[in-house]
Amino acid sequence: MNSTMNRLPVSTWNPLGVNYAPASAALPGVPAGGWAKAAALSPALPAGVIAPTEADFAHFAESGMGTEADSWLAENANLVNHLAVSGTADAPVVFETKLDADHPHALTYLTVDAAAGSSLTVVQVVRGDAENGVSANLTRIRAAENAHVILVQVQLLGNQARRWNAVAIEEATSARVEQVRIELGGAVTACGTRAVLDHNKCEYDLDAVYFGSGSDVLDFNDVSVHTGKDTLCEMHTAGVLTGHASKILRGTVDFQRGAKRGVGHESEDVLLFSPNARNRTAPLILCGEEEVEGQHAASVGRLDENKLYYLRSRGLSEAQARRLMVDARFAPAIDKIPLADLQDEVRENVAGRLNDELDG
């Protein structure tokens, strides 16, 4: 199913294989015995945040993974949470899930309803590993006028589990949603975010990083749709590919009619540590309005030898220098994690994966 998951909004030459996610990244089949029961998520809620038992997101915009995937994720979720915020939450709401042999399936569905002028940070962390493990997530964010929502997603899975992560965002006037997406593990990682900026002066920012190794399959589809005036999106991704990992990133800034003075910047910086790793980047800027500014940039390659030499001339071993260069690329995303311990955990996780790579 979901043969057109993570679909590029406008198809390109099909033999490139980037129009939608490969079959190897398709959503999982439901196990014969159904999904394993997952431990309920009951995060501490700061003042101004409530967790209603129901939320009306029935007619919500699709995620970057597409309507079909969204429906599947919502219907199959074994962990459902709703958040509503009014005012400024003075602490992040943290959801932590862990896969293990007894809990191999975590299919989460989260809605965030941010009232006008409110401010909230949500952190989603998934750790652990399990044979045939599944970590699937659908997050829907409704940001009302002047609301500010920060969504921090940290995925630290092992190399057996598979991961799907869909995010859908609707923003009202002058709202701002920032997403930090850190995807470090998983044999399969498929993510897609779509932000609908159909009100004036709203903004969407994405800082994403990924690490692909072994025979990992990574597939991303991030879309910012602009129809309001003076809207802004900044979508920036950095990644490392080693082994035989294969990755596709589609990044689309879609300026539709009416998006006057819209600005959209997207970039990707990929480090290839193996000649067998495969990278495909498909940046797309669609202009249905004349008075807009769209930029895309992609950098793919090995570590700059001159920079490596410079670092080594200061006493850093080759491994230290390579780690530093990767840290540097990942820093903009990791620095936005609001929890110092989690920042350290992510850095250590990256270092561990690099050590595995550098030590062969």
Partner 1 sequence: MSSPLLEVKDLQVVVGEENKVLLDGLNLTVNAGETHVLMGHNGAGKSTLMSALMGDPRYTVTRGQIIFRGQDITHETADVRARAGMFLSFQTPEEIPGITLESFLRTAAGAVTGKPVKVMKFRHEMAAQMEALNMDPSYADRYLNVGFSGGEKKKAEILQLLMLKPALALLDETDSGLDVDAVKTVASGIKAYHNADNALIIITHNAKILEGLQVDYVHVLDDARIVRTGDGSLVNEIIEEGFTALKEDEAK
Q: Answer positive or negative: Cα dihedral of 49, 164, 299, 357.
A: positive
Min dist. Cβ of residue 312 to partner 1 (A): 4
Q: Which is nearer to partner 1, 14 or 306 (CB)?
A: 306
Q: Binding marks (x or -) toward partner 1, 282..311, rule CB under 8 A?
A: ----------------------xxxx-xxx
Q: Which residues pair with 80 in a beta bridge?
A: 109
Rank residues 90 and 318 by Cβ distance to partner 1 and give the closer one.
Answer: 318
Judge whether 152 and 124 are in contact, CB under 8 Å. yes
CB of 319 to partner 1, least distance (A): 10
Least CB distance to partner 1 at residue 325 (A): 8
Instruction: Give how far Cα 8 sits from Cα of 3, 234, 283, Å.
Output: 12, 18, 10
Nearer to partner 1, 42 or 313 (CB): 313
Among 206, 179, 268, 264, smallest CA distance to 230 is for 264
Write down the least CB distance from residue 318 to partner 1, Å: 7
The window from 31-39, 78-86, 220-228, 320-328 that contacts partner 1 (CB under 8 A) reads: 320-328
Closest CA to 174 of 112, 121, 230, 90: 230
Total residues at interface with partner 1 (CB under 8 A): 24
Q: Is 325 in the site for partner 1 (CB under 8 A)?
A: yes
Alpha helices in 28-185 (DSSP H): 67-76
- Site membership for partner 1, residue 332 (CB under 8 A): yes
Residue 327 binds to partner 1 (criterion: CB under 8 A): yes
Q: Which residues contact 352 (CB under 8 A, 6 or more apart)?
A: none
Burial class (CB within 10 angstroms; exposed 0-12, middle 13-18, buried 19+) of 328: exposed
Which of 23, 317, 344, 348 binds partner 1 (CB under 8 A)? It is 317
Query: Residues 33, 54, 290, 314: which binds partner 1 (CB under 8 A)?
Result: 314
Segment 161-180, which members bind partner 1 (CB under 8 A)?
none
Q: Which is nearer to partner 1, 257 or 307 (CB)?
A: 307
Query: What is the side-by-side order of every strand in the sheet holding 176-183?
Result: 93-99, 119-128, 148-155, 176-183, 203-212, 232-241, 262-272, 292-301
Between CA 252 and CA 254 the distance in angstroms is 6
Backbone angles phi, psi at 333, to 5 degrees: -80, -50
Nearer to partner 1, 91 or 351 (CB): 351
Closest approach, Cβ 309 to partner 1, in A, equals 6
Q: Rule CB under 8 A: which residues touch partner 1? A: 304-307, 309-318, 320-321, 324-325, 327-332
